[in-house]
Chains A and B, each alone.
Chain A
Amino acid sequence: AQSVTQLGSHVSVSEGALVLLRCNYSSSVPPYLFWYVQYPNQGLQLLLKYTSAATLVKGINGFEAEFKKSETSFHLTKPSAHMSDAAEYFCAVAGGTSYGKLTFGQGTILTVHP
C-alpha cells in the first residue's frame, strides 16, 4: 500500500520569501511522485513529477522538488513566492502498477502575504 503525508495543512509566507511545502511518502516499490496545484474553482494541474530520472525535478512557475529516498520525502520549493502562487498544493504517489492510480495527500493551502 502507498500513502502520502503532507506536513502542514496551511502554510503562510510573505511575497518574495522561500516557499517550502513538505511531503513524505510510503511505498513498497520505487515510487512515481507528483505535485499538483489547485487554484480556486479549478481542477488540479500538474506542477512536476519524479519518475526515477534526476532526483531534482524542475516544474512550472519556478517550482522544484527533490526526491530523497533515505528520507522518503519529496518536498516542494520555490525560491521567491509570488502572490499568484496562492493555491492548494497536493502531493501524490504511484507505483507498482501500470494502471495510473494515484494516492493523494490531504493538501496544503499556501497563502502569500504582500
Chain B
Amino acid sequence: DARVTQTPRDKVTEMGQEVTMRCQPILGHNTVFWYRQTMMQGLELLAYFRNRAPLDDSGMPKDRFSAEMPDATLATLKIQPSEPRDSAVYFCASGTSAYNEQFFGPGTRLTVL
C-alpha cells in the first residue's frame, strides 16, 4: 500500500529555533507539493516540485522558509528562524503529471511557542 510519509508527526519548538520537516513521496511520483493548513487561512500551497526541480514557491515566506528535494525519495521544508505564526499543520503530497491527482501524507503538526 503506497503512501506518502512525513516526519515528524508532531513538533513543538521555541521561537527562533530551526525546524526541518521531511517527506517521502510515493515511489514513481514526479511531483511533490508542500501545503500549510490553519484555521484562519485554510489550505495554502507553499511550494511544489516536478522531477525535483522547484516550479513555484511563491506561497512561501522567502526570508525564513526553504524547500528542497535532495533526491527523488526525500523532500524537505525548513523554517529558520521559526515564529509563533508558523504554527500550523504542514502537509506533503505527491503525484504524477497525469490526471493531476495528489496523494497526501498525514501531516506534521508544528507548534512554535
Chain A positions near chain B (C-beta within 8 angstroms)? 32, 34, 36, 42-46, 49, 51, 90, 94-95, 97-102, 104, 106-107
Contact = CB atoms under 8 A, between A and B. Distances in A.
B105 A100 contact: no
Given A98-B98, A100-B31, A106-B42, 10 more contacts: A32-B100, A34-B101, A43-B91, A43-B104, A44-B91, A99-B48, A101-B45, A104-B42, A104-B43, A107-B43
18 contacts: A34-B100, A36-B104, A42-B107, A43-B4, A43-B104, A43-B107, A46-B101, A46-B103, A49-B99, A98-B98, A99-B50, A99-B97, A100-B50, A100-B97, A101-B56, A102-B100, A102-B102, A104-B43
B12 interface: no
B53 to A, nearest CB: 11
Contact of A43 (B97, B99, B105): B105
Nearest to A9: B42
A106 B43 CA distance: 7
A49 B98 CA distance: 13
Contacts of B104: 36, 43-45
B55 A99 contact: yes
Nearest to B41: A106
Contacts of B102: 46, 100, 102
A44 B6 CA distance: 13
Given A42-B106, A43-B106, A107-B43, A99 B31 contact: yes
A94 B91 contact: no
A43 B101 CA distance: 14
B48 A101 contact: yes
A36 B99 CA distance: 15
